[in-house]
Structures are given as structure tokens and as C-alpha cells.
Amino acid sequence: MKSIVRLVFAMAVLVGATSPAVAAGSLTGTVRDAQQQAIAGATVRVLAASRVAVATVITDQAGRFTVADLADGAYQVVVTKGAFADRAMAVTVLVRPLQSLPLITV
């Protein structure tokens, strides 16, 4: 059975423009196989600590996905795709105000 060996997550933060009480977090990532090829059409499920699915999305042609509107907390992300072995990863979403960085010159 093939294995989805790489599941890359970048944590993003979304902050409501009118009120900090509206803030929510999101997860974005890319699903790739052992040869670093994108896995399009993979199912990505985000489960709450109670193991209840809070979101399900499908990866795009480049293997990318985004799950928005997540509250602070611990989640399990489970990726499935046909003949590939399932892959699970524990993640923590932390919603924080956006921070500005000084100008970076390269």
C-alpha cells in the first residue's frame, strides 16, 4: 500500500476586521507522496478532541487545502486517498492578533 509520507501544514491566523471576538484560526497545507508529487483529490478531515469531524475538505490539483473558521484547540487531521495509507497528524490551533514585522531588506 502506498503511503502519503508528507503532510505539510502552515498555521495561519484570521482576525475579524470589526471585532477581536470574531477571530478564528485556519489550517492550510499540502499533501504529497513519497516522490514529492501533489496528491489531488485527497480527503482531509479535521477532528475535534471528541473525535467529531468539524470540517472535511478535498485537496486541489496542487495537493493544497485550507480549513477556515477553527476555534482555539487541539485537532487531529486525517488524510485519506484511495490506494494510499491514511495519514493522521495532531495539530493545535491558536488564534492570536496579527503581528506586524518591521521592514525586512534582503
For residue 99, the model assigns a pLDDT of 58
What is the pTM (predicted TM-score) of this model? 0.73
pLDDT in tens, 27-57: 899 999 888 999 999 999 999 988 899 999 9
Range of the domain at 48: 2-93
Q: Evaluate whether residue 28 is within a structural domain.
A: yes
* Tally of structural domains, the chain: 1
The DSSP line for 40-99 is TT-EEEEEETTS-EEEEEE--TTSEEEEEEEPSEEEEEEEE-TTEEPEEEEEEE------
Q: Evaluate whether residue 102 is within a structural domain.
A: no
pLDDT in tens, 80-91: 999 888 999 999
